[in-house]
Structure 1
């Protein structure tokens, strides 16, 4: 890892931000990162250009390329921008790139930001395994990509660790490579309602904006619950969101963008997990009537065991 120690005037810098699928307003993945970015902007005064990545194929690549040419620092959010990160970082070596969700190393002007979502998801799975009454829980991902697979793996391992009799159903909204699964709350509602009707009583939704539909399905269905993701979604349906597995995209974005703007950009991979507070469960403030004190204590013990290396959660990330 090497650092750039030049110190330009932040007010003379333009930062470009390309959202993941679903765009801003998802109350999840994109909004968390944007919150950290806006905090950095308010403190440092740099200009900010935002591209909500609605286009696909060539049109999207052209839109990203246009933004890159306008900016000094680029923030690319989500695995669908893996190709953009590689190509444009090499094409524009004078610019700095901050990319999230997949490991891209060996490019001197590129930083890859990863989260150990499998660790936090293990805790979400342990909670689901302890709380489920039907002994069937579900995982609903936007599409089958490595970051989502890491969530699913950790969730399954957490369930099996505490309740090996509980069945875990894995579903995805769209097929591999189709990122529309993160931008379709109607599909999330329909699929979740069918899973609930079929006997699943808790769904861990890892699907961006689509997850809002899953939360709505839980809100409308008696004795059915959801686990939120990325941001604290517990208030979206009080008493029906057991907890949220929070990824501190806000903290990571604030830190990495601030460093880059202040001339302290660091290439390479930064990894945020339980030990750094990069992932965590919420305090379950609306569901303590469902989640007993012994379960809360067990979750804390499991969290510490992962931090101490006594429990090793499978890491499927490339």
Structure 2
């Protein structure tokens, strides 16, 4: 699985220049620096968070021809400080994926003002050579929750996160609020695979499968899995269980169990990574916090192509109406991100 990169990511990258106003000069030149990439928990091959970001990075590499060094998180879900420090020494640009690497971003960017740092999932402001990339996942999760609330037949839904960390908690909160917006009678159980501080919860699909199997047996019919590689275990449990469904995350995971993945709450890490690395390599680096959301299609549900038999057109129209209300500010989803 480690060598597999989502084909959906490659296809979706063709849309990159239509999603954001990128401001990249057509004739930009580069001296081909070295780019380092530190993955999040689970590493490459998760068919979700890491593969999505890596797809954007690879497209930038193919267009610009820079060297790329990859450091995968270890079994704990984090990258050891000594290995990160060694990678920083080797690279001109460093991409750090995942909130567990906040301390690396805060430590190494000020120590190396001549290098560019791109960091995801938590706000790190005030460092002139660091770009902090955020996504309003709570807004997309609200829509996923509204969809689940309308579709659930057992009136019991669950959220399964890798571990409690602010970006994942934002997913959970948005999902809960979306369910309650349309179906206040539906029960929403929130679970995490590992306790706070243990990022191995994002790389344990067997444990996630067992937890999902138990939830399904207890009457839950839809699980929103925000757990990286572990989410694949939830998808497999849904595939094997009659009348049970899952909502995918980060990448378009609808094809992984066609008809059992209601939709996926996609975060365009591919687009953000491509854009930020391209800018850094071509001399257009923009430090500070950038927040991507529904308005620029950086957070979105999939088209539910395999589940239209159970998701009716009125439900889709309602979800689209809720999307517009969030964009306009008529609905404000709680933001738990620091």
TM-score, with length taken from structure 2: 0.91
Judge conservation of contact 2:145–2:176 (CA < 8 Å) in 1. Answer: yes
- Matched with 1:230 is 250
Q: Distance in 2 between matches of 1:178 and 1:48?
A: 28
**Mapping 1:1-318, distance limit 5 Å:** 10-54=30-74, 60-318=80-338
Structure 1 residues 21 and 204, CA, compared in 2 at 3 Å: closer, same or farther?
A: same
Q: Given that residues 32 and 64 in structure 2 are in contact (C-alpha distance below 8 angstroms), is that contact kept between their aligned partners in structure 1?
A: no
Using a 3 Å threshold, how does the CA distance of structure 1 residues 55 and 201 change in structure 2: closer, same or farther?
Answer: closer
**How far did residue 11 of structure 1 move?**
4.3
Inter-partner Cα distance in structure 2 for 1:277 and 1:195: 32
Going from structure 1 to structure 2, the CA distance change for 1:243 and 1:66 (only over 3 Å counts) comes to same
Which stretches in structure 2 are left out of the alignment for 5+ residues?
1-24
| 1:10 positional shift | 2.7
User: Which residue in 1 is equivalent to 2:7?
Assistant: none
Structure 1 distance, partners of 2:98, 2:129, is: 18
Shift of 1:12: 2.8
Work out the CA distance in 2 between the residues paired with 1:8 and 1:240.
44
Query: Against the structure 1 CA distance between its residues 180 and 171, is the aligned structure 2 distance closer, same or farther, given a 3 Å change threshold?
Result: same
Aligned to 2:13: none
Going from structure 1 to structure 2, the CA distance change for 1:70 and 1:78 (only over 3 Å counts) comes to: same
Partner Cα distance (2:251, 2:270) in 1: 9
Structure 1 residues 223 and 66 mapped into 2: Cα distance closer, same or farther (>3 Å)? same
Could you report, residue by residue, the CA deviation over 1:49-92 in whole angstroms, capped at 9, with x for unpaired residues? 11111165997111111100000000000001000000000111
Structure 1 pair 213–56 and aligned structure 2 pair: CA distance change class (3 A): closer
Task: Measure how far apart 1:8 and its partner are.
Answer: 9.1
Unmatched 5+ stretches in structure 1: none
Sort the Cα spacing of 1:235 and 1:55 in 2 relative to 1 into closer, same or farther, 3 A. closer
> For the structure 1 residues 112 and 166, does the alpha-carbon distance in structure 2 shift closer, same or farther, using more than 3 Å as the test?
same
Q: What CA deviation, in whole Å up to 9, does each residue of 1:131-151 have, x standing for no partner?
A: 000000000000000000000
Distance in 2 of aligned mates of 1:73 and 1:244: 31
- Flag the 1:29–1:66 CA change in 2: closer, same or farther, 3 A: same
- When residues 290 and 8 of structure 1 are mapped into structure 2, their CA distance, relative to the original with a 3 A threshold, is closer
Distance 1:261 1:11 in 2: 8
- TM superposition shift of 1:155: 0.1
Tell whether the 8 Å contact from 1:11 to 1:44 is kept in structure 2 after alignment: no
- Shift of the 86–129 alpha-carbon distance from structure 1 to 2, 3 Å rule, reads same
